Amino acid sequence: MEIVKTIIPHNNSFVEPPIPSATDWLASKLTSIFQLMFQRTSDMSVMHVSCLTIACVFVFITFILSFFHLYFVLKYVSNERIRNDMYALIFMFPVSLL
16-25: per-residue pLDDT in tens?
777 778 788 7
On whether residue 82 sits in a domain, the answer given is yes
On whether residue 10 sits in a domain, the answer given is no
On whether residue 55 sits in a domain, the answer given is yes
Q: What is the CA radius of gyration of the chain?
A: 26
On whether residue 84 sits in a domain, the answer given is yes
53-89 pLDDT, tens digit each: 899 899 899 889 888 988 998 889 888 888 888 888 8
6-18 pLDDT, tens digit each: 777 666 666 777 7
Number of domains, the chain: 1
Higher pLDDT, 42 or 27: 27
On whether residue 63 sits in a domain, the answer given is yes
On whether residue 3 sits in a domain, the answer given is no
pLDDT of 40: 62
On whether residue 48 sits in a domain, the answer given is yes
Higher pLDDT, 98 or 84: 84
How far is residue 28's CA from residue 22's CA, in Å, rounded to a whole number? 10
pLDDT of 39: 66
pLDDT of 84: 87
On whether residue 15 sits in a domain, the answer given is no
Domain that holds residue 80: 20-97
Which residues lie closer than 8 Å to 73 by C-beta, 6 or more apart? Answer: 83, 86, 87, 90
